[in-house]
Amino acid sequence: MSINGLFPIEKWDFSSDSILSGLSMEDLEPLMTHRLEQVYKKGEVIFREGGFPQGIFYIMEGMVKKYKVNDSGREQLFYVANTGELIGYHAVLSEDRYPDSAAALENSRIAFIPKEDFLETLQRSPVLNSRLLKTLSREFAVLINGLSLIAQRSVKERLALQLIVLREKYKVDFKPGMPVSINMSREDLANLVGTATENAIRILTEFKEDGILETKGRKIIILDINRLIKIANYR
């Protein structure tokens, strides 16, 4: 079922799939002419925090996690990007090192776009410029919401909310009444929620016993989105 009107998904998902969609050939062609496409296997790192950017990345197919690594070596996963999104452009715009890392959550086809092509197109395309500015504004709002979520919500509420967001991301050829499968390791899910893996597993088991979801291997299949919205306790 759709969650439109039931849950403000736009507050938690800064999808940038509209940045390149519908661009004129005049803008799109120079941006994509020198692109290099590569298939990243699940778990393969796309770029690392602290590295110098040579360009940006366009997810043509697949799913990518964005994360930071803390002093103890634990990943702090803060966003999942999917097909159509751009990643890695913050460092190019700021002319600085990558502030975070990115790795494929599943086998993903990703295009590398040289920074010279990206910056040149951005400079002469008011449409791309406007879309990117809008996306950056949305990203800031979503990240602020994420920080407040960690500080103010219980682990159970945070897990329910992240499952709602992930369900939207994993919709493929969705039709009303169709179950949605989230294909993510329990460790990655726990890192996204900000809790220990065993805590995430325990709460998932509770949700499963309550008929809210079912699991098949690492796949999480959402059965009752209304119950998740209620547990998320978002107001």
Model confidence at 235, pLDDT cuts 50, 70, 90, reads low
- 1 within a domain of the structure (yes/no): no
Whether residues 109 and 215 share a domain: the answer is no
The pLDDT tens digits for 158-179 are 999 999 989 988 887 666 677 7
Contact (CB, 8 A) for 13 and 142: yes
- 159 within a domain of the structure (yes/no): yes
Residue 60: CATH number of its domain: 2.60.120.10
Contact (CB, 8 A) for 78 and 66: yes
pTM for the whole structure: 0.86
pLDDT number for residue 18: 65
pLDDT number for residue 146: 66
Residues in the chain: 235
Averaged over 42-56, what is the pLDDT? 97
Whether residues 87 and 172 share a domain: the answer is no
Whether residues 118 and 225 share a domain: the answer is no
pLDDT number for residue 1: 46
pLDDT number for residue 131: 87
69: its two tokens? 């690594």
Whether residues 96 and 212 share a domain: the answer is no
Model confidence at 16, pLDDT cuts 50, 70, 90, reads very low
Give the angle subtended at the CA of 36 by the CAs of 69 and 96, to the nearest 5°: 40
Strand partners, 113: 56
The pLDDT tens digits for 177-202 are 777 889 999 999 999 999 999 999 99
The range of the structural domain enclosing residue 179 comes to 153-232
Q: Which residue has the higher pLDDT, 143 or 97?
A: 97
| Spatial CA neighbour of 115 closest among 55, 57, 58 | 55
The structural domain count of the chain equals 2
| Spatial CA neighbour of 104 closest among 16, 189, 41 | 41
- CA dist 90 and 102 (Å) reads 13
Phi and psi for 91 in degrees, rounded to 5? -65, -35
Averaged over 51-78, what is the pLDDT? 93
Averaged over 215-229, what is the pLDDT? 93
Contact (CB, 8 A) for 46 and 65: no
The pLDDT tens digits for 101-141 are 999 999 999 999 999 999 999 999 999 998 888 888 777 77
Whether residues 166 and 216 share a domain: the answer is yes
- 55 within a domain of the structure (yes/no): yes
pLDDT number for residue 14: 53
Domain boundary among 118, 149, 180: 149
> Which of 16-25, 28-37, 65-74, 194-203 is predicted with the least confidence, judged by mean pLDDT?
16-25
State percent of the chain over pLDDT 70.
86
pLDDT number for residue 89: 94
State percent of the chain over pLDDT 90.
62
| Spatial CA neighbour of 55 closest among 142, 114, 126 | 114
Whether residues 175 and 140 share a domain: the answer is no
pLDDT number for residue 20: 84
Looking at residue 43, what DSSP letter applies? T
Looking at residue 21, what DSSP letter applies? T
108: its two tokens? 């993903």
Strand partners, 68: 76
